[in-house]
């Protein structure tokens, strides 16, 4: 039972491998035909894919020969070295089968090695960290810079790009056996555009054009709203009105108690009132007390109401009203005073010009 299970599991893998070998064989035949026809641009890539799918020594040898005929000496030498490394791991019987190819590879590798160009790419000392360097689309890290590396003859493209900066491209051509050193250039990040006059903050002491008026400077109008002086006037006026109302109410109550006392009490020869009942005597006392409270209420209410009037009259006018109103003479003055007495109070306002 276990043997059948192993066969069932291995069958899909074997089928996939067989398909890969078949595809590799088809690519190899097409690539070899193109190579013999001198179509290296299509033949060599087909042989490369064939060897990747089925890495046999014969496919690697043919691929190295195609690269050499194409003139890509650096790639050809690398493929020949791959074949020699593979040959060193073969058994004696396998090496015997590949011996003729082994001798050709040695001769070709030694003949082409001196023809491989050497290219050295280096960054300037002020290149920012993280600068990206690519040669023909291949990213070169730090260890690949500043040393000679083999490249194929022909045209190459090297790009550099600093973090946040633009891509700088260099195109050049290198010949067989040439040793070339290129000092790369790195473009810095683009500087932000200069600020326009509208974006620049005003200089200290400068006044916006809207505030100029024939050489004179005007302060901006105050924010609309109720001033603290006006609020105090409203509060004081409310308290004054309350005092006046309380004085009036207690005054009426005092008059009512006084009427009751007059009906019950008579003045004696000594000047003191003589009341017939206790209620009349109490009504007379309440009339005096309420009269005193009424007098105080009227007096306090009048003082507070007068204060509110003064606060409203002496409140500074807004800047706009001051600009439109006629100017007040320099010698003008406004004075006010409060009057209070046992029977009432008031406010006296005096204007002097």
CATH code, domain carrying 81: 1.25.40.10
Domain termination residue (choose one: 113, 131, 161): 113
| Burial degree of 7 (CB within 10 A; 0-12, 13-18, 19+) | exposed
Q: Are residues 337 and 236 in the same domain?
A: yes
For residue 212, the model assigns a pLDDT of 47
Q: Are residues 81 and 29 in the same domain?
A: yes
Q: Are residues 239 and 129 in the same domain?
A: no
| Burial degree of 261 (CB within 10 A; 0-12, 13-18, 19+) | buried
Task: Give pLDDT tens digits for 41-81.
Answer: 999 999 999 999 999 999 999 999 999 999 999 999 999 99
Q: Would you say the pTM of this structure is higher than 0.85? A: no
Q: Are residues 258 and 302 in the same domain?
A: yes
Beta-strand (E) ranges in 164-223? 167-174, 179-183, 212-213, 216-217
3-state class (DSSP) for residue 57: helix
Over range 36-43, report the average pLDDT: 97
Q: Are residues 83 and 21 in the same domain?
A: yes
Q: Are residues 147 and 58 in the same domain?
A: no
Q: Are residues 172 and 248 in the same domain?
A: no
Q: Are residues 124 and 95 in the same domain?
A: no
Q: Is the pLDDT of residue 211 over 80?
A: no
Give domain status of residue 188, yes or no: no
Q: Are residues 29 and 44 in the same domain?
A: yes
Give domain status of residue 264, yes or no: yes
- What is the domain extent for residue 135? 118-183
Confidence of residue 252 (pLDDT cuts 50, 70, 90): confident
CA 50/CA 61 separation, integer angstroms: 12
Domain termination residue (choose one: 183, 201, 220): 183
Comparing 6 with 90, the larger pLDDT belongs to 90
Give domain status of residue 250, yes or no: yes
Q: Are residues 96 and 166 in the same domain?
A: no
3-state class (DSSP) for residue 37: coil
Total domains in the fold of the chain: 3
3-state class (DSSP) for residue 291: helix
Domain termination residue (choose one: 90, 113, 136): 113
């Amino acid at each position: 039972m276990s043997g059948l299970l192993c066969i069932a599991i291995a069958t899909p893998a074997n089928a996939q491998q067989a398909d890969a070998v078949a595809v590799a064989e088809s690519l190899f035949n097409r690539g070899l035909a193109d190579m013999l026809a001198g179509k290296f641009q299509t033949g060599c890539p087909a042989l490369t894919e064939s060897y990747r799918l089925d890495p046999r020594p014969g496919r690697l040898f043919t691929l190295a020969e195609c690269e050499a005929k194409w003139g890509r000496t650096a790639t050809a030498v690398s493929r020949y070295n791959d074949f020699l490394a593979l040959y060193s791991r073969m058994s004696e019987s396998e090496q015997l089968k590949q011996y003729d190819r082994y001798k050709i590879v040695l001769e070709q590798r030694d003949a082409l090695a001196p023809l491989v160009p050497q290219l050295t790419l280096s960054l300037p000392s002020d290149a920012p960290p993280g600068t990206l360097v690519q040669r023909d689309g291949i990213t070169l890290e730090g260890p690949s810079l500043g040393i000679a590396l083999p490249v194929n003859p022909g045209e190459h493209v090297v790009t550099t790009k600093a973090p946040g900066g633009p891509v700088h491209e260099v195109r050049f051509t290198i010949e067989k056996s040439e040793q070339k050193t290129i000092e790369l250039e790195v473009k810095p990040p683009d500087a932000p555009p200069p600020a326009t006059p509208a974006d620049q903050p005003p200089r200290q002491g400068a006044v916006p054009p809207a505030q100029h008026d024939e050489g004179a400077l005007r302060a901006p109008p105050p924010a609309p709203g109720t001033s603290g002086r006006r609020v105090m006037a409203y509060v004081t006026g409310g308290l004054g009105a309350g005092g006046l109302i309380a004085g009036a109410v207690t005054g009426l109550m005092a008059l009512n108690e006084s009427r009751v006392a007059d009906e019950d009490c008579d003045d004696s020869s000594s000047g003191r009132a003589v009341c017939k009942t206790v209620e009349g005597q109490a009504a007379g006392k309440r009339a005096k007390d309420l009269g005193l409270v009424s007098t105080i209420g009227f007096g306090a209410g009048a003082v507070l109401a007068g204060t509110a009037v003064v606060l409203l009259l002496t409140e500074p006018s807004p800047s706009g009203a001051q600009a439109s109103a006629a100017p007040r003479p320099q010698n003008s003055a406004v004075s006010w005073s409060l009057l209070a007495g046992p029977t009432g109070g008031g406010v006296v306002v005096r204007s002097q010009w």
